[in-house]
Amino acid sequence: MAKPPAPKATTSAGGGVSLCVRRAIVRASRLGRKLVAQASLLAAGNSNSSRPRNVVVSDSTWLILGLGNPGRRYAQTRHNIGFVVLDALVERLAKTSLHRVEHNAHVWGPVDAAPLLAQDDKRRTTSASQVLLAKPQTFMNASGEAVIPLGETYGIPPSRWLVVVDDLDLETAELRMKPKGSSTQNGMRSIAACLDGNTDFARLRVGISRPPKDSGISIVEYVLGEWTDEEAVKVSTAVDEAASLIGDAVHGGPLTAKVKV
């Protein structure tokens, strides 16, 4: 299998200093204290950033983020399972509803999250929960540079973020909800770095497994490789289950989201 081209480097102008670092420096200088970006996120609703006039965000709105790499060449790769799940949510909930591009991300909503619940779930008729759906377009390793401004603009704190991401340490299509904690996945590390190490945000890990030990395939080549036919069938089923887990997490918290056996 030919090695797919690597995503573009995420260095920035000005001696390689990242956008997140430059943003933090500007805010600290302007407001006279450290870590203003993180503080503004943790105090939900205190953001001064503008948002579309017709968009209303409540205390029950969650920011759902699917991580991946933009462009057709990466669309069917294992690393892009976050995009695949997010696309399924858009199809089910939003379609073209309030679609726009903001802060280097495709954004939809907020929209009613009740359709993510089972048909017989009584919460469907009483739900006030909404979701803002987003696909960062900064490439995986710089995901934080899109995620942080989105959180600020809509006043949604990390405690109401749910990130959908691929995981090498789970079997293909295995799902695992985690309410918070560290991660070695590069997109997750980027988000945590832009929050000055804060990892108190939920994530839905979708397994992509690892390449066979004696295959000679590197991790980079593997995650940027496309699904096999057998894997694709498993993933298709997992995407539907992922939507249900996200619905449970949004309505009852990440700890209530259990994989159905």
Max CA distance (Å), the chain = 56
pLDDT for 125 equals 76
Provide the token pair at 39: 């503080």
Residue 180 banded pLDDT, cuts 50, 70, 90: very high
pLDDT for 37 equals 43
What is the pLDDT averaged over residues 140-166?
Answer: 96
pLDDT tops 60 at residue 49 = no
Higher local confidence (pLDDT), 73 or 31: 73
Backbone angles phi and psi of 111, in degrees to 5: -135, 160
pLDDT tops 90 at residue 54 = no
User: What does the pLDDT look like over 189-248, one tens digit per residue?
Assistant: 999 999 999 999 999 999 999 999 889 999 999 999 999 999 999 999 999 999 999 999
Backbone angles phi and psi of 120, in degrees to 5: -95, 10
What radius of gyration do the chain's Cα atoms show? 18
What is the pLDDT averaged over residues 12-31?
Answer: 50
Report the alpha-carbon distance of residue 205 to residue 84 in Å, rounded: 13
Exposure string for 220-231, b = 16+ CB within 10 A, e = fewer: ebbbbbebeeee
pLDDT for 36 equals 42
- First and final CA of the chain: distance in angstroms? 35
Provide the token pair at 6: 């690597």
Query: Residue 79 catalytic?
Result: yes
Report the amino acid identity of residue 159: S
Q: Give the 3-state secondary structure of the chain.
A: CCCCCCCCCCCCCCCCCCHHHHHHHHHHHHHCCCCHHHHHHHCCCCCCCCCCCCCCCCCCEEEEEECCCCCHHHCCEHHHHHHHHHHHHHHHHHCCCCCEEECCEEEEEEEECHHHCCCCCHHHHCCCCEEEEEEECCCHHHCHHHHHHHHHHHCCCHHHEEEEEEECCCCCCCEEEECCCCCCCHHHHHHHHHCCCCCCCEEEEEECCCCCCCCCCCHHHHHCCECCHHHHHHHHHHHHHHHHHHHHHHHHCHHHCCCCC
pLDDT for 124 equals 81
Looking at CATH, the fold of the domain delimited by 19-49+60-256 is given as Rossmann fold (3.40.50)
Report the alpha-carbon distance of residue 165 to residue 68 in Å, rounded: 8
Catalytic choice (79, 103, 106, 251): 79
User: What does the pLDDT look like over 6-20, one tens digit per residue?
Assistant: 554 444 444 455 666
Which residues, including other chains, have CB under 8 Å from residue 193's CB and lie 6 or more apart? 20, 144
pLDDT for 33 equals 38
Sheet holding 130-136, edge to edge: 100-102, 105-112, 130-136, 61-66, 161-167, 202-207, 175-178
User: What does the pLDDT look like over 77-132, one tens digit per residue?
Assistant: 999 999 999 999 999 998 777 799 999 999 999 999 988 888 888 788 777 789 99
For the chain, give every domain's residue range: 19-49+60-256
